[in-house]
Amino acid sequence: MNKKWECYKPDENKVNELVKLCNINEIIAKVLVNKNISKEELNIFINPTRKDFHNPFLMPDMEIAVNRIIKAITNKEKIMIYGDYDADGITSITVLKSFLEERGLDVFSYIPNRLDEGYGLNNEAIKKIYDENYKLIITVDCGISGIDEVEYANSLGIEVIITDHHEPADILPKALAVVDAKRKDSKYPFNQLAGVGVVFKLIQAISIKLNLDEKEYLKYLDIVCIGTISDIVPLINENRVIAKLGLKLVSQTKNIGLKSLLNIAGFKQIDSVAVSFGVAPRINACGRMGNEKLALDLFLTKDYELARKLATKLNEYNIKRQEIEKKIFNEVTQIVENKEKENTCIVIGENGWHHGIIGIVASKVTDMYFKPTILICFDEDIGKGSGRSIPGFDLHEALMKCGKNLEKFGGHSMAVGVTIKKEKFEEFKTELEKYASKCNITDIVPIINIDSELSLKEISLEKVRELKILEPFGEGNTVPLFLFKNLKINSIRSLSEGKHLKLTLKEDNYMIDAIGFNIGELAEKYCLDDKIDIVGSLDINSFNGNDSVQIVIKDIRKSY
């Protein structure tokens, strides 16, 4: 698929100013200028400290929530934390439960089963909580949409404190407190925290109110960091402070569950990549497979042997998840190639697919074909599905316009969840295809944003090592990409049975290695001495004790 390359042209005066001001190299300065980071924000971006956290009491209803929890601490009440089954939810429960138990509270948790109960508050769960004589529920990473459920809890005499980070509707649940920086009346200076980030602000506020030492809430930054990076929120502003400080704690974590999980994931370096691809998938695999409590038990246990066993179990679930995901992905791509390739969007429904996994597959199919994708798994006459979109096409709006055949749906422009009767599927599919065809989706071309054009002589091991100052990378702070033109292919081959591409490239007297993951088939397209242009990130390859710079290829084409 052809992609459009767009290269930033940073203001050279600003670049030179940053080089002098921060004593950094020109490559880093260009990246920072491209990010539009002001001089005031620069120090926080490069060297955040614990003093860079915002005042938690600026968050709506924080004072009310804190006062009620302190009352519970004083009266030795028992509290139910109601969470979510993903990594953000699991870490949110871990942090709040651990902190409150250290204050002497009796704290329990409830996580709805993804396959049976779905996401968020539900009345059956609230009735169970009521039957066990709880008078206070604190939600984490959920609750903002639970208007009817909170009303039901109120009718039973249960008080509810909501802590959430999702978009609220025009009407808020009538909870005792609704702590969410996305509220329209919020005065909090940053509204992109993960659910665990909101929990962190809550324990920070309680600590301030109780005159506790800062370490009483800061010591949880390792777990807060895991949830924040896992939830793919933008790693800017306060999230960057959480991630950058938190990663330092992750590498020396005292949480034996996290330590066991890091060991089994096998990443040599503890960074955002290790969290995103090592820790998060293993936590999420439990929830996807309907065994969400195992991940929570892992993070809460104080038993080393149990931690090792639970981490092993999480790893096994992740392997099983990968196998199921691969099977569904192969089935979907086969259907697309045989029947759906000419369609503007991909809508496929089948019996027997795993409901907890089709969202990941939908995301991969969307990336592969650059088309909005909705996959639905049917259980008898009812289907539940997940959809993913492409930049420039609002999938949620599309469902608003042509979702009359759906039982229900929710989500946002890039990701949706749907429920539909089997008899209505074909009609819905036709209607969505008709709508998408009118939106000129085929005219949308994926764009690769490039930080700077470089020549090989401009890069060195030292300069690439210095790029680490920009970490942690993630949503909102992506890995810098660079353009290299007119490089001559000195050697070319495929690796791992044709899966990956390995190149040695030459410019004048300078040589560099390049690796292209999952594009091994291009070894047949290019030849020795071909001149190519490459977009990629810069990395250090360590082999047999030797370090060398390599380009990790994002896209490649022949030079013109």
Mean pLDDT to the nearest integer, 92-97: 98
Of the given ranges (85-94, 108-117, 211-220), which has the lowest mean pLDDT? 108-117
Residue-range domains of the chain with CATH: 4-47+448-558 (2.40.50.460), 52-215 (3.90.1640.30), 342-443 (3.10.310.30)
What are the distances in angstroms from CA 164 to CA 99, 135, 201, 313?
18, 20, 11, 29
pTM of the model: 0.90
Please, which pLDDT band fits residue 289 given cuts at 50, 70 and 90?
Answer: confident
Please, which pLDDT band fits residue 217 given cuts at 50, 70 and 90?
Answer: very high
What are the distances in angstroms from CA 79 to CA 97, 107, 207, 227?
9, 5, 18, 22
Q: What integer pLDDT is reported at residue 247 of this predicted model? A: 96
The answer to whether 23 and 469 have CB atoms below 8 angstroms apart is no
For residue 395, pLDDT over 70 is answered with yes
Q: What is the dihedral of CA 227, 451, 32, 53, to 10 degrees?
A: -10
224-271 per-position pLDDT tens digit: 999 999 998 999 999 999 999 999 999 999 999 999 999 999 888 899
135-146 b/e (C-beta count within 10 Å ≥ 16 → b)? bbbbbbbbbbbb
Which helix (H) or strand (E) segment holds residue 406: the answer is: strand 406-411
Distance in angstroms (rounded) separating the CA atoms of residues 430 and 474:
37
297-350 per-position pLDDT tens digit: 999 999 999 999 999 999 999 999 999 999 999 999 999 999 888 899 999 999
How many of the other CB atoms lie within 10 Å of CB of 194?
Answer: 27
Order the strands of the 177-179 sheet from edge to edge: 106-110, 78-82, 136-140, 159-163, 177-179
Distance in angstroms (rounded) separating the CA atoms of residues 121 and 126:
8
Terminal alpha carbon distance of the chain: 18
- Average pLDDT across the chain, whole number: 93
- H helices of 58-146, where? 62-75, 87-102, 123-131
Distance in angstroms (rounded) separating the CA atoms of residues 241 and 221:
10
61-71 per-position pLDDT tens digit: 999 999 999 99
Q: Which amino acid is at 242?
A: I
513-549 per-position pLDDT tens digit: 999 998 999 999 999 999 999 999 999 998 888 999 9
In the chain, the largest separation of any two C-alpha atoms, in whole Å, equals 77
For residue 1, pLDDT over 70 is answered with no
156-185 per-position pLDDT tens digit: 999 999 999 988 888 999 999 999 999 999
